[in-house]
Amino acid sequence: MRLTRATTLAILLSASGVAAIDASPKYLLTDIPAANPDVESVVAFPDHADRAFPGGERVKVLLGLRNTGNDAVNVTHLAGSLNVPNNFNFYVTNFTVSSFGDAVIKPKKEATFEYEFAIDPQFAGHSLQLALTAFYDEAGVAYATTYFNSTVPVLDPKVVFDRELAVIYLTLAGVAFLCFAGVMKAAGLGHLVPFIGEAKPTTGATKKTYVKKVEKKGTTSASASDSEQWLEGTAFARSSSKKEKKKQK
Ligand SMILES: *[C@@H]1O[C@H](CO)[C@@H](O)[C@H](O)[C@H]1NC(C)=O
Ligand SMILES: *[C@@H]1O[C@H](CO)[C@@H](O)[C@H](O)[C@H]1NC(C)=O
Ligand SMILES: *[C@@H]1O[C@H](CO)[C@@H](O)[C@H](O)[C@H]1NC(C)=O
């Protein structure tokens, strides 16, 4: 199972040529500098609190940074990537880099940043490593904080009306109805089930059952059990089938 999934992923990756990326500065993620302990981060995915992301949709990330140090922190870039779980060197996608000209967080202050990324819908059904990093300078030294780095599931793209799903639901509903009808019949309440239960004794139906009754009394062969099936669920069958079975034995 694992192998199959990995293989499909590999095929997808080679087919897509590892998605085209608009990353300026392109190799920002190659040598990520160390984090500055004065910078604390919190992250929220306002539309995806469960941290599972539908493919093909822009995902909004809210990043809160607090500068607990004594020097100003100058946030320069927000970047992120999708990587193969347990093999971080395999970059599936490098997201577009957000650059800032003058996003300075003064000492003891905090700021909120918004970042957006989208996952190619072809990865739906897979789990990928999502890494999101903020780059900043403090007193002329470059730092970076990877504020999110976890394996996340990629979900099927959201669709307004899923025909396949509708067919599955209808089929399930049909099966459920048949089971229900079967149980009702077994309980001798088949006549209460619409469509499947025998019609309630209208004048015509009563006549029919009467004819069958005559047949039944005469023979105890296969045709008798057939007619019994035919009558199953009717008021008549319930009252007479017990007697009939005794007779057959
Ligand atoms: C994505 O970023 C990594 C790390 O910087 C780099 O090694 C890789 O070549 C990049 N991939 C693409 C397609 O730019
Ligand atoms: C913050 O960084 C940007 C981009 O590197 C730079 O243009 C700007 O002058 C810096 N601001 C401060 C206050 O260091
Ligand atoms: C994310 O975590 C993996 C291990 O789970 C690690 O190998 C990788 O270097 C981390 N990435 C970043 C950008 O910190």
Kindly give the interhelix angle for 203-218 and 235-248, rounded to the nearest 10 degrees. 0
Asked if 212 and 230 count as a contact pair (C-beta separation under 8 A), the reply is yes
Cα-to-centroid distance, 82 and ligand 1 (Å): 10
Could you tell me the residue ranges of all domains in the chain?
2-155, 161-200
Return the best residue to mutate from 102, 113, 135, 143 for the ligand 2 pocket (most ligand atoms within 8 A of CB): 102
* Assigned fold of 2-155: Immunoglobulin-like (2.60.40)
Q: Which of 75, 80, 83 is nearest to 104 (CA)?
A: 75
Whether ligand 3 lies within 6 angstroms of the CB of 149 is answered as: yes
| pLDDT tier for residue 233 given thresholds of 50, 70 and 90 | low
Residues 37-51: pLDDT tens digits? 999 999 999 999 999
- Between 230 and 25, the more confident residue is 25
Cα-to-centroid distance, 45 and ligand 2 (Å): 28
Whether ligand 1 lies within 6 angstroms of the CB of 29 is answered as: yes
DSSP conformation letters of 172-187: HHHHHHHHHHHHHHHT
Residues 184-222: pLDDT tens digits? 888 887 777 777 655 555 554 444 444 444 444 444 444
